[in-house]
Structure 1
Amino acid sequence: MGKVWFVGAGPGAPDLITVRGTRLLAEAGAILYTGSLVADTALQWAAAGCEIADSKSMDLEQVTDWLLTRAERHATVVRLQTGDPTLYGVLAELARPLDAAGVEVGIVPGVSSAMAAAAAAGECLTLPEVTQTVIFTRLGGRIPMPAGEALADLARHRCTLCIFLSIERIDAVAETLIGAGWAPDAPVVVVHKATWPGEELVQRGSLSDIAGRCRDAHIVRQAMILVSPALGARDAPGGATSKLYDAGFERRFRGKRAGDE
């Protein structure tokens, strides 16, 4: 039996997949990718003659069967997933039958769309003395949120929120955050298809108007919502600075400068 690798394709740009990921794609005898979410350009690393299939019309059982049968034929099989395989995917559900069949499984991390969106917008997710916590979450819907993890509960922490899989209900996201105590004029950044060549779109606004701005820009899917007190920090005057490079801050590789007490 071959080994099945779950490889994170990253956010969209083909050169943001990891070096390990490209090596495995080149070695793979079979690749199953999520065509509705993974840019086709990621497949440029596949070898000639590699068996490639799109899973967008498959259910869980069909995906599992495909991976199992290809593991019987090839030493390396890749399940290519958007972003990082450990975030908002079905890694556990797919790995269980592979484990049961004695198929070895490997995981290669990928760049999350949360980080790619922040980079595309030129924003920081953390800021000294402003926010040091980042929450990855989503708005509950057909898939309910576990107890204590409703967006309203998490929003009350007033830290950075990276909101996945919720752009279709951006109105509800904004209303929920305002109801949790965020100001209507709190800044919001929405990034559609971060790093996708020719398709990336950054939309800025506030909680009071971001839904309308997204509708006007026709952003209805594949978008990351960033809400944070750190947004706009590059344009804000003053503010606390990190101690990492403070001349008076002693650390392992740098003592205090002479005269600093």
Structure 2
Amino acid sequence: MVYFIGAGPGDVDLITVKGRKVLEGADVVIYAGSLVSKEHLNFCKEGAIFIDSAPLTLDEIIEKIKKYNDDDKIIVRLHTGDPTIYGAIMEQMVELDKLGIKYEVIPGVSSFTASCAALKREFTVPEISQSIIITRLSGRTPVPESEDLELLARHRTAMAIFLSVQNIEEVVEKLIRGYGDENTPVAVVYKATWRDEKIITGTLKDISDKVREVGIKSTAQILVGNFLNLSSKSLLYSKDFQHAFREAKR
């Protein structure tokens, strides 16, 4: 059996309880060494085999999975964050389907929610934002024209932008044209929940200079939108708001 497990954004305690339990019983762990904290391996049983997938191709990863699956080993494919978001697991699952190898996907905490938590903010704020757009800038991995950053920004809702901080100037140009306001608040969170986490805040007018000054070129989330301002309250706990479990006070 193969388990695709989301290891979380960085902090080893942000893996799910289910994910940790499966990891503890794994015979083989193929982990994304360039992104996943190696501290996760400390929870594995003695004698477990560890394989860093960073230098491997898809064919090489599948070859190793097949080899150990044929030996009836429990295999964990440990991905960063949540494997269903920019996790590159679909191509692996397609190959496992061809081989008739059973697998399960165990979700994890994504870096975009970890980044929002680090900022002590909420993406969905009444009267400000009730939607979240998760996207990335087009690069070596193309993005459909209909999902161009400028077009998505025209919705003026909360945005979480992955894999794009290395081109922060281009990101900002597109966002300014989309949002239509260079004073829109923005935050860049580098390595959310890791020990060397950094948070840079500003507006679309000045965030590029701030990011370049600090030298952030990778492993960062770009969060954009007015939800970053503390200017609204949830209706849920208002004394005037009635729901199935509570009467309105007036």
TM range (shorter): over 0.9
| Partner of residue 210, structure 1 | 207
Give the superposition deviation at 1:185.
1.9
Unaligned runs of 5+ in 1: none
Task: Report the secondary structure of 2:237's partner residue.
Answer: coil
Q: Distance in 1 between matches of 2:95 and 2:140?
A: 25
Q: Distance in 2 between matches of 1:245 and 1:122?
A: 19
| Partner deviation per Cα, 1:117-165 (whole Å, 9 max, x = no partner) | 1111112212110110001000111221123111111000000000000
| Partner of residue 184, structure 1 | 182
Give the superposition deviation at 1:44.
1.7
| Partner of residue 63, structure 2 | 65
| Partner deviation per Cα, 1:54-96 (whole Å, 9 max, x = no partner) | 0101111111111111112244100000000101022111011
| Coordinate RMSD, CA, aligned | 1.2
Q: Is the 1:30–1:74 contact (alpha carbons within 8 Å) kept by the matching residues of 2?
A: no
Task: Report the secondary structure of 1:178's partner residue.
Answer: helix
Unaligned runs of 5+ in 2: none
Task: Report the secondary structure of 1:230's partner residue.
Answer: helix
Give the superposition deviation at 1:218.
1.4
Q: Is the 1:83–1:113 contact (alpha carbons within 8 Å) kept by the matching residues of 2?
A: yes
Give the superposition deviation at 1:242.
2.3
Q: Distance in 2 between matches of 1:151 and 1:74?
A: 45
Name the TM-score, length of structure 1 as normaliser: 0.92
Q: Is the 2:155–2:179 contact (alpha carbons within 8 Å) kept by the matching residues of 1?
A: no
| Partner of residue 54, structure 1 | 52
Give the superposition deviation at 1:187.
1.3
Match of 2:18 among 20, 33, 39: 20
Q: Which amino acid aligns with 1:228?
A: G
Q: Distance in 1 between matches of 2:145 and 2:62?
A: 30
Q: How many residues align?
A: 250
Task: Report the secondary structure of 1:136's partner residue.
Answer: strand
| Partner of residue 229, structure 2 | 232
Q: Is the 1:138–1:165 contact (alpha carbons within 8 Å) kept by the matching residues of 2?
A: yes
1:99-118 correspondence runs (5 A): 99-118=97-116
Q: Distance in 2 between matches of 1:243 and 1:124?
A: 14
Give the superposition deviation at 1:217.
0.9
Moved over 4 A (4+): none
Amino-acid identity (%): 40
Would you say 1:253 and 2:250 are equivalent positions? no
Q: Which amino acid aligns with 1:230?
A: F
Task: Report the secondary structure of 2:145's partner residue.
Answer: coil
Q: Which moved more, 1:128-137 or 1:140-149?
A: 140-149
Q: Distance in 2 between matches of 1:202 and 1:219?
A: 10
| Partner of residue 121, structure 1 | 119
| Partner deviation per Cα, 1:5-52 (whole Å, 9 max, x = no partner) | 000000000000111111111110000000111111122211111000
Give the superposition deviation at 1:182.
3.3
Match of 1:135 among 110, 133, 136: 133
Q: Which moved more, 1:12-21 or 1:41-50?
A: 41-50
Q: Is the 2:31–2:77 contact (alpha carbons within 8 Å) kept by the matching residues of 1?
A: yes
1:36-47 correspondence runs (5 A): 36-47=34-45
Name the TM-score, length of structure 2 as normaliser: 0.96
Q: Distance in 1 between matches of 2:229 and 2:179?
A: 20
Q: Which moved more, 1:159-168 or 1:98-107?
A: 98-107
Give the superposition deviation at 1:181.
3.3
Q: Is the 1:8–1:109 contact (alpha carbons within 8 Å) kept by the matching residues of 2?
A: yes
